[in-house]
């Protein structure tokens, strides 16, 4: 009787151990980091202004909403605050922004046939704050000034359809 009970307990223990072993093996090979080992990042770009050219970077701090300065600015219509993309304004692809550094606190914009413009980053205040719309969702933003607006309107639009450059608030 004791021998039968011992063998029965041993069989149950062995089967349980085998089941756990199989589960561990399945878990080990299904881990997401194992899959990621097959990929390699060849280049990293940050897009300071939505729908404009990207800026190559070697590394970039990552925050909850993504890379630092990535898609932090956008072009919107002055009247409605609706954001613009390359679908509406294909020439946005020609605008080359630079990343602001901690010393300058300005965004530099270049485009073919346009003078370079240095846009000081406007801090949050009630006069410059405005609501803008991304795919119908309301977002708070800070208008980056009349000089940037005039530059964008001259390059992308007409005086009848003025545009603004805004910085999206986190």
* In a shared domain, residues 66 and 21: no
* In a shared domain, residues 155 and 88: yes
Tokens standing for residue 35: 């899959």
Model-level pTM? Answer: 0.73
* In a shared domain, residues 149 and 101: yes
Model confidence pLDDT, tens digit, residues 60-112: 888 888 888 888 899 999 999 999 999 999 999 999 999 877 666 889 999 99
Model confidence pLDDT, tens digit, residues 117-144: 999 887 777 778 889 999 889 999 999 9
Tokens standing for residue 37: 């080992």
SS3 159: coil
* In a shared domain, residues 31 and 51: no
Of 1 and 158, the one with more pLDDT: 158
Model confidence pLDDT, tens digit, residues 10-63: 666 676 777 787 788 777 777 655 555 677 788 999 999 999 999 998 888 888
73/168 Cα distance (integer angstroms): 6
Beta-sheet pairing, 163-168 with 137-143:
antiparallel
53/98 Cα distance (integer angstroms): 9
CA–chain centroid gap for 56, Å, is 14
Mean pLDDT of the chain: 85
Smallest CA-to-CA distance from 84 within 15, 157, 3, 8 is with: 157
* In a shared domain, residues 93 and 11: no
What's the domain count of the chain?
Answer: 2
Domain extent, residue 80, equals 44-168
* In a shared domain, residues 10 and 50: no
* In a shared domain, residues 121 and 150: yes
């Amino acid at each position: 009787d004791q021998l039968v009970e011992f063998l029965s307990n041993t069989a149950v223990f062995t089967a349980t151990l085998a089941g756990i072993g199989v589960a561990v093996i399945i878990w080990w090979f299904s881990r997401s980091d194992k899959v990621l080992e097959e990929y390699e990042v060849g280049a990293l770009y940050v897009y300071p202004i939505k729908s404009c050219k990207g800026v190559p970077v070697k590394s970039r701090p990552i925050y909850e909403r993504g890379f630092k300065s990535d898609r932090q600015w956008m072009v919107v219509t002055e009247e409605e605050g609706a954001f613009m993309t390359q679908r509406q304004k294909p020439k946005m692809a020609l605008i080359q922004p630079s990343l602001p550094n901690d010393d300058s606190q300005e965004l530099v914009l270049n485009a073919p046939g346009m003078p370079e413009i240095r846009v000081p980053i406007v801090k949050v205040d009630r006069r410059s704050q405005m609501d803008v719309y991304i795919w119908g969702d309301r977002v708070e933003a800070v208008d980056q000034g009349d000089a940037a607006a005039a530059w964008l309107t001259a390059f992308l639009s007409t005086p009848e359809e003025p545009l603004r450059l805004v910085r999206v608030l986190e």
